[in-house]
Structure 1
Amino acid sequence: MTRLLSGLEGVLAHADDAQQLAERRGLLQWLDPRIKLVGLGLLIITGVMVHSLVALAGLLLTAVVLAGLSKISARRLLNQVWIGVLLFTGLVALPALFLVPGIPLLQLPGLPLVITWQGLRSAAFLIGRAESSATLSLLMVLTTPWPDVLKALRYLRVPKMVVMILGMTHRYIFVLLNSAIALFEARNSRMIGPLPPRERRRLAVNAAGALLERSLYLSQEVHLAMLSRGYRGDIHLMHDLRCRTLDWLALAGFILLSLAAFSCQWLRLA
């Protein structure tokens, strides 16, 4: 239980650290949320559509440069994105090394498996697209407060219901975390020594049921409190979103990067 409690507290600490990172003085933090959403979204779509490994490498390098200019370390990207995406996507892409027919590249010793050049290229495309898309998405989340992201979505005509679901889900995640921490701290303070395995399992089941019941009740109370205060799904900020010259220049830069990525593909095809 102590390990579970420390893990829940670590999640809250990570969220607080991400909030502080969004308030730092960096390149992406200075940009208007709408510009960031459109620009980074354009780069993600470009990474999904291009058929050039050079273009994908350029997009990933661009994401690393943007992270550095936004006070986000490469170590953070490595821990939060690159390792996890590589492990998951690598497992998905592994069969392509042997199943995609093409020019033989490497014969595994003692096994009737041959890595083909086309299979290696297909796996590289899958991993490169996943890494670049996940890195660009993380930059958007880490450099923008969540209410600003929701407000930018509404400016871009995303349906109000979708924005409301995203906002309420984000809020209830932290409500559930705080409820779980309070529950486990109260239970841990009443325990004198370690319990036998059967009692630990029974305790875990009871705690899950109590947490679910408490979260449902609290979610209804929070929703009614928000409605009584005039909440109708729209996001209101203390500051207005305004595009400056830097924002328009950044949008032009995102468009040029997207065109440059497609030009790598067109030049190769030519």
Structure 2
Amino acid sequence: MPTSAQRAYDQAVLASLLEREGRVPSQPIEYRRYRIEHESGNSVLARHDLYDELGDGNRDLGRARLTIGQILGQPDVTTLRIGESIVLPARPADFDLSPLAYAPFPSEWPGAAEIERAVVVDLTTQTWAAYGNGRLRRWGPASTGKASTPTPTGRYTMNWREMDRESTEAPPGETWRMRYVMNIYAVRGIHLHQYNVVPSGPPEGHGCVRMVEADARWLWDWTGGDTTAPGTVVIVQGTTPTETPVRFVEGPSGPERVMVSLPPDPMAVPRGDR
């Protein structure tokens, strides 16, 4: 496994968040910026204040609610210093929603309404989504190829699949194991797959799309398990970021989620493997 100084997603935490039940409100979630502050200048005491605030006085509840920052691509609060901040839901009731409620993708994709299964990988936000007949079924974080070895954009179709595979990009003496490997570009060896290290900052891969295990397993099953027949449409779009992706921008009333725009007709997107 390659070493990295970047922060990585906690896959166990993400699995529990991505697979939990919950409601999806009819109105967009309001977010706010929580600052790490304490009169003493001590970051540990500042974090305790944040736990108390998020948990309405219950520190353990506050810690539990703070995990939603993982799905929003926010930094680990233990790495934050005095004066820094983290973006989280503004209302207590919005910490326990369905993961679909926090998606940067629209809930409906009219252009894909006639397509049984379609997958989108957005390079700009480093996220992915699955749509069934135009309805958002699941989404999650991703890590694509870095700027020097970017994931190619375009329209693809899932080709061969392999449950367990060793990466050919590993340096001598190292073994990089991938699970739930779903190939979309055979000549280039571009796959969607599980990987143990999925950085939450800039992408650092060699062209493939890294996914947390819970997502890769779900997508593997949803798109046909160990079938070898070509099938699911995959759209790769956007621009590879060289720094941590921008997930929120400041709006007139506070932080606003950066939303992904989808192509009107996915089948009109030029093929990426030609």
TM-score by length of 1: 0.29
Greater radius of gyration (CA): 1
When the two structures are superposed, what TM-score results if normalisation uses the length of structure 2?
0.29
Higher relative CO (CA 8 A, sep ≥ 6), structure 1 or 2? 1
Which is strand-richer, 1 or 2?
2
